[in-house]
Amino acid sequence: MLENPIVVALDFDNKFKALQLVDKLDPCLCRLKIGKEMFTLFGPDLVKELQNRGFDVFLDLKFHDIPNTVAKAVTAAAELGVWMVNVHASGGLAMMEAARKALLPYGENAPLLIAVTVLTSMSSEELQLVGVHASAAEQVTRLAQLSFDAGLNGVVCSAQEAHTLKHRFGEDFKLVTPGIRPQGSDVGDQKRIMTPKSALDAGADYLVIGRPITQAAEPLAALEAIYQSIR
Ligand SMILES: O=C(O)c1cc(=O)[nH]c(=O)n1[C@@H]1O[C@H](COP(=O)(O)O)[C@@H](O)[C@H]1O
């Protein structure tokens, strides 16, 4: 298991509440993920505030645009000093290659560049509706192969696909898995879910966990319980 595999998804519309929660968490036990909602509301200042508190930040903006635009966007993320940044693999090979090349000047300080395959909220039926006539698992493998060929550091996928992808692409290709639900917690809008322990056993490297921690009555206790369950 990698050091510090838990990434807490901060999905809040209120900065004060988010920082109140963050101040209850421990950077030795987790990293933090900022997504579209918080970045749109609070911008790079929030990223800095989290970094100043000692947390690694995953900037989850899922870039999907023409190659030049995405290359510039990941450069801006690298300038912010984030630990991880992501793009949509469905943006294509040229887009992902442009993003990877844009990070070369940052060397060892470059953020990990990860591609989203098929969102964990998508079922195979929903994929059909957007014109993908393959199962979710097949589409994930196809997009992961494209991300691997583009030289990315790994993919976001559901833990249910982790075993196949780890076997196919090897240890160095990192698997970031949302849709993680500790036993007994609310599934919410997620479709392809797994418990933290089973996800790691299946080959996941990083577990993205939001509501089971952020909406818990005792967030640090929830984080610690998950941490204990995977030791
Ligand atoms: O890229 C992501 O982080 C992501 C990809 C995906 O396929 N599914 C997914 O749920 N996510 C994110 O992971 C987090 C999951 O949060 P919870 O469902 O509250 O644990 C949210 O911030 C989502 O935006």
C-alpha of residue 61 to centroid of ligand 1, in Å: 11
What's the CATH code of the domain at 181? Answer: 3.20.20.70
C-alpha of residue 214 to centroid of ligand 1, in Å: 13
Q: For a pocket test of ligand 1, which of 12, 31, 208 has the largest count of ligand atoms closer than 8 A to its C-beta?
A: 208
Overall pTM > 0.90: yes
Q: Find out whether the beta carbon of 208 lies less than 6 Å from any atom of ligand 1.
A: yes
Predicted pLDDT at 189: 81
- Closest protein CA for atom 6 of ligand 1: 119
- Kindly report, residue by residue over 83-112, the tens digit of the pLDDT: 999 999 999 999 999 999 999 999 999 999
Q: Find out whether the beta carbon of 155 lies less than 6 Å from any atom of ligand 1.
A: no
Active-site residue flag, 60: yes
* pLDDT > 90? residue 219: yes
- Is residue 87 within a helix (H) or strand (E), and if so which, with residue range? strand 84-88
- Kindly report, residue by residue over 35-69, the tens digit of the pLDDT: 999 999 999 999 999 999 999 999 999 999 999 99
The answer to whether residue 124 is domain-embedded is yes
Q: How many domains does the chain have?
A: 1
Of 201, 203, 183, nearest in space to 193 by CA: 183
Query: Distance between CA atoms of 51 and 48, rounded to whole angstroms?
Result: 5
The answer to whether residue 99 is domain-embedded is yes
Give the residue numbers spanning the domain of 63.
6-230
- Closest protein CA for atom 24 of ligand 1: 35
Residue with the bigger pLDDT between 191 and 171: it is: 171
Question: What is the predicted ipTM?
Answer: 0.96
Query: Distance between CA atoms of 204 and 107, rounded to whole angstroms?
Result: 25
Active-site residue flag, 56: no
The answer to whether residue 209 is domain-embedded is yes
Phi, psi values for residue 63, rounded to 5°: -65, 140
C-alpha of residue 58 to centroid of ligand 1, in Å: 12
The answer to whether residue 1 is domain-embedded is no
The answer to whether residue 69 is domain-embedded is yes
CA-to-CA dists, residue 89 to 3, 117, 149, angstroms: 26, 6, 11
